[in-house]
Chains A and B, each alone.
Chain A
Amino acid sequence: MATDRQLEQVVVVGAGVAGMRAAETLRQNGYDGALTMVGAERYAPYHRPPLSKKLLSGQVHRAGIDMAPQFDIDARVLRGATAVGLDISARTVRVRDDDQDVSLSFDGLVVASGAQPREWPGGPAPGGVLLLRTVEDCLAIRERLGSHPRVVVVGGGFIGAEVAATCRVMGLDVTLIEQATGPLVQALGDELAPCWANLHREHGVDLRLGVGVDTFVGNGQVEGVRLTDGSQLPADVVVVGLGVTPATDWLADTGLRIDGGVVCDATGTAEGSTGDATVVAAGDVARWWHPLYEQHLRIEHWDHAARQGAAAARTLLAGKDRAEPYNQLPYFWSDQYDLKIQMLGSTTDYDAFRVIEGDPRGWEFIAAYGRDGRTIAVVGTIPNRVHAYRDAISGSAEFPPKPPD
């Protein structure tokens, strides 16, 4: 595909997988104008999935997670630089780079600023209460795990559940605290909550459900965690995994529509992007209209961010009138103990659930989610079996779907 219009100055804000894939896709498709990447982290792009898994446990080394550049994208790359403002009519992004404000002009902008982990909401926490988002966060936690600490994980989403599993496999004492009825409820629903709860308990995690953290105990360094039911746990390391919020602060009052992320149409064009300059968004920060699900979805998964980054770049090149809608199915995996949990599709607003192959009690199963009588997502632990349901989900097959041969 040749460029259909004359772009000359593209700025990509974000150097995670969405930003990287956007930059590479621009070059692969013949864009030969100026390209500037703005990355908040000081490191070259790296793979984030191992941070809660093999990098945390030490099974892979730091160098093993670098995203090997496949070719020279011929870009000016600012690292440790944060976008702090956007002026759409002037077509400039304001960036803070080493205490200096720089203004970058653009005629095409890719917003891929990602998300930031939710801080502990109860104010300052003692040392040893840590978040996990970046490679630095991961290595800081890993360093502390070496002294065989008692670990408390707050939040049973994917990050919390994976950190708990990784720490248990390393032989550490782990308590996992989750306010809902089980781990992964937000993504995978109440029906499977007992399944994931058993998984962690059978592996020796002290799982506390239906309670939250009242306060952290400790002067300087954390010594314990007091729960909302009045009980207290000893703790040497606490990992807080309360989800993320899209990094949109720098986009406030710019004319872009921000509502739980940068709201985009099905091509990735940001709503409120006006004039000659096109603004697209991709990855954790973006909420695209999904033609299959007929709603805006913000999806926090690696595979999705990679593909959406590429799609956003294609939109930028084609121009918004000729850009093609993106309707790929979200896909993710999560490694916990010996299980690889995989999901294809989105469970958002599901109203039906059924196990369609195997049995969750034996950890080998496939389950489907439906809405209005149609199949919208499939989750499973039989390796890669979910991919066999791709057509059923893309084609909105009747729920429950028939297991393919």
Chain B
Amino acid sequence: MRVSVDLDTCDGNGVCMSLCHEVFDVREDGLHLLQEQPRSELRGPLKAAEVSCPTGAIVVED
């Protein structure tokens, strides 16, 4: 799986981090993608982060 984040759109609200902290880390300086190609077991939380991001900044590709 491949994850990308549009950092221009990201508001740093941290919803993704609460859904999938294995991949998303939101710090003082903004969002950090901890893994760009996470293992497929994380598909559920990743898809949740994608749909729940209030600015639609996350794209998850299978």
Contact = CB atoms under 8 A, between A and B. Distances in A.
B12 interface: yes
Interface stretch (A81-89, A91-99, A184-192, A381-389): A381-389
A21 B54 contact: no
A67 B51 contact: yes
Nearest to B56: A68
B51 A333 contact: no
B50 A70 contact: yes
Interface string A361-405: 000000000000000000000111101000000000000000000
B18 A340 contact: no
Contact of A333 (B14, B29, B50, B52): B14
A384 B13 CA distance: 8
Given A47-B54, A384-B26, A310 B14 contact: no
Q: How large is the interface on A (under 10, 10 to 19, 20 to 34, 35 or more residues)?
A: 20 to 34
B13 A70 contact: no
Contact of B54 (A24, A25, A302): A302
Given A28-B44, A383-B28, A385-B28, A306 B15 contact: yes
A28 B56 contact: no
* Chain B contact residues, majority secondary structure: mixed
Nearest to A17: B52
A173 interface: no
Question: Which of B12, B18, B47, B50 has the largest number of chain A CB atoms within 10 A?
Answer: B18
A21 B51 contact: yes
Q: What interface size band does chain B fall in?
A: 20 to 34
Contact of B51 (A49, A70, A383, A385): A70
Given A50-B54, A385-B28, A306 B48 contact: yes
Contacts of B12: 340, 383-384
Contact of A328 (B17, B18, B52): B18
B11 interface: yes
A331 interface: yes
B9 to A, nearest CB: 9
A31 B31 CA distance: 33
Would you list the 6 A-B pairs with minimal beta carbon distance, nearest first? A306-B52, A49-B54, A384-B26, A47-B54, A303-B15, A383-B28
Contacts of B50: 70
24 contacts: A20-B51, A21-B52, A24-B47, A24-B51, A25-B44, A50-B54, A68-B51, A68-B56, A69-B51, A70-B47, A70-B50, A70-B60, A302-B15, A302-B54, A303-B13, A303-B15, A306-B48, A307-B18, A307-B48, A310-B48, A331-B14, A383-B28, A384-B17, A387-B14
B19 interface: yes
A158 to B, nearest CB: 14
A384 B14 contact: yes
Interface in A65-112: 67-71
Nearest to B53: A47
A335 interface: yes
B15 to A, nearest CB: 5
A170 to B, nearest CB: 18
Contacts of A50: 54-55
A67 B60 CA distance: 14
Contacts of A331: 14-15, 18
Nearest to B19: A307
Given A21-B48, A21-B51, A68-B51, A333 B56 contact: no
Contacts of B39: none
B56 A64 contact: yes
A278 interface: no
Given A21-B48, A47-B54, A384-B28, 17 more contacts: A17-B52, A24-B51, A28-B43, A28-B44, A47-B56, A49-B13, A64-B56, A67-B51, A68-B51, A70-B47, A71-B47, A335-B11, A340-B12, A342-B14, A383-B12, A384-B14, A387-B26
